Amino acid sequence: MNQESGRSMIEMLGVLAIMGVITVGAIGMISTAMRTQKRSTVNDDVIQIVTGVRQLLGEYDDFSHINNATIFGAIGVSNKNPYGGNYELYVDPSNPRQFIVSIGGLSEGDCKYLTTKAWSDSVGYQMSGGKNGGATGNCSDAGGKNTVYITYGE
């Protein structure tokens, strides 16, 4: 009698099933890590943009001199954000002593996250006594074209 050694088809299917479950779990963890990294990068970029604007235009009484190309070039930050959209700067039309940082190209979930996040140095956060996040935005576009607006200044 010859004895054959090797793996049966059932054993191989079992191994493949286990590898599939592990792969699905790893993909979920990688996706979460990438989302967290993008959000962290946006937070760091906004802090750097706000600091740069205040340093460059702090000597003026208002922020009506904001020019996106000049500001982003001077502070060394790209106007592209990790979501494929842009950062833009605006002067608040109702108060030239305030400026608005917009973050575009956001998915609905990331828009909601950034709108409710505590932007502690923003006007909205300070005026609400820390009860509101300080950002506004319409997060209803499911196609990744949502924008968040954060107001800074006095």
Instruction: Read off the pTM.
Output: 0.80
| 87 secondary structure, DSSP code | E
| 138 secondary structure, DSSP code | E
Cβ(65)–Cβ(57) below 8 Å: yes
Task: Give the alpha-carbon dihedral of 107, 115, 118, 63, to 10 degrees.
Answer: 110
- Which stretches within the chain are classed as H helix? 9-57, 68-75, 108-116, 123-127
What are the pLDDT digits (tens) for 89-129? 999 888 888 999 999 999 999 999 999 999 988 998 998 88
